[in-house]
């Protein structure tokens, strides 16, 4: 059984990512902006529960593929993402595995 990567032709978007570093005395601190290409951004409206058990409305899901997204890595919660002039915040990053138990097939990142 072969599980193929998400085809590169479907990974049509590019995002700007500012990774959350820590809570600072003047607000959240973030790493410098990094561009991540070959991702898929799907607008989506869904209720989820955050780590405190409160419901949050997600505004979209971003897909990163292990093979075809060059900067493939988990995106940290509380990080910032800019896509098409709109700012989002990462609320969850789920690793989805296929046949390799050590490397995820792709990440699904929920943003608000």
pLDDT at 8: 95
Burial category of 108 from C-beta neighbours within 10 Å (exposed 0-12, middle 13-18, buried 19 and up): middle
pTM: 0.85
Say whether pLDDT at 59 is over 80. yes
Joined together, the tokens standing for residue 33 give 């902006």
CATH code of the domain made up of 8-111: 2.40.10
State the DSSP code for 98.
Answer: S
Q: CA–CA separation, 68 vs 44, rounded Å?
A: 23
pLDDT digits (tens, 9 = 90+) for 60-104: 999 999 999 999 999 999 999 999 999 999 999 999 998 888 999
Token pair of 39, please?
């991702």
Average per-residue pLDDT in the chain?
90
């Amino acid at each position: 059984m072969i599980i193929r990567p998400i085809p590169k032709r479907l990974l049509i978007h590019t995002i700007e990512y500012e990774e959350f570093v820590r809570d600072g005395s003047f607000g959240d601190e973030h790493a410098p902006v990094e561009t991540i290409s070959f991702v898929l951004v799907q607008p989506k409206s869904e209720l989820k529960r955050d780590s405190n058990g409160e419901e949050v409305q997600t505004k979209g899901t971003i897909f990163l593929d292990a093979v075809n997204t060059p900067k493939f890595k988990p995106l940290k919660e509380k990080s910032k993402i800019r896509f098409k002039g709109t700012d989002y915040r990462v609320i969850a990053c789920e690793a989805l595995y296929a046949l390799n138990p050590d490397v995820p097939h792709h990440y699904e990142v929920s943003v608000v």
